[in-house]
């Protein structure tokens, strides 16, 4: 028979801090994701225009109904389709789990410093728009990129947005 005067007992589970389980992404993967993002964006948006623009310029004796203007117009339309597809994919991945296309390919993502998911507004405004404005300061972009080698592996734009890049 249990002692009626004993203190109450409860089974308590240790709560693990979600930020303690996060593994910071190494600088090489972050650089690779950044390069991949830019290559993919250029390929999807500028690629069709450049390809069809060069084809239109190479057309030496075009027929009036399918002249260089029609080929260049097709390139512009395909570039617009590429831009919409790139925006849709990028926003879809960012909203779903804080990843750009390059970050998804390389298995890293952006989260808040405490490990919680990052909002789209924080990513767009604090992590990108503010940095685009600060990029007018000479050498800011270079110093921002070098900060990834600090112990915290946070660039200046990460510190502004209170984010970290972790292995997904």
Please name which of 42, 72, 50 lies closest in space to residue 59, comparing C-alpha atoms. 72
User: 9: helix, coil or strand?
Assistant: coil
Give me the phi and psi of 2, to 5 degrees please.
-70, 150
| Domain presence at residue 74 | yes
| Domain presence at residue 102 | yes
- Count the Cβ atoms, other than its own, within 10 Å of residue 112: 16
| Domain presence at residue 12 | no
| Domain presence at residue 156 | yes
| Domain presence at residue 52 | yes
List the chain pLDDT tens, one digit each, 168 residues: 788 888 888 887 766 565 567 899 999 999 999 999 999 999 999 988 888 777 666 654 555 555 567 777 888 888 999 999 999 999 999 999 999 999 999 999 999 988 889 999 898 898 889 888 998 999 998 998 899 998 889 999 999 999 999 998
The gap between the terminal CA atoms of the chain, to the nearest Å, is 51
Q: Tell me how many domains the chain contains.
A: 1
| Domain presence at residue 159 | yes
| Domain presence at residue 94 | yes
| Domain presence at residue 6 | no
């Amino acid at each position: 028979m249990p002692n009626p005067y004993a203190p109450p007992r409860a089974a308590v589970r240790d709560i693990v801090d979600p930020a303690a389980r996060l593994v910071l992404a190494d600088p090489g993967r972050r650089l690779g994701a950044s390069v991949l993002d830019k290559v993919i964006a250029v390929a999807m948006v500028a690629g069709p225009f450049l390809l069809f623009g060069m084809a239109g310029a190479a057309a030496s004796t075009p027929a009036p109904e399918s002249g260089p203007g029609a080929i260049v117009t097709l390139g512009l339309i395909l570039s617009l389709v590429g831009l919409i597809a790139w925006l849709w994919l990028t926003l879809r991945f960012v909203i779903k789990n804080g990843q750009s296309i390059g970050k998804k390919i390389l298995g890293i993502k952006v989260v808040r410093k405490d490990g919680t998911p990052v909002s789209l507004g924080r990513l767009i405004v604090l992590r990108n728009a503010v940095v685009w404005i600060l990029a007018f300061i000479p050498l800011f972009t270079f110093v921002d990129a070098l900060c990834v080698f600090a112990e915290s592996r946070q660039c200046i734009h990460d510190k502004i947005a209170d984010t970290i890049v972790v292995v997904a």
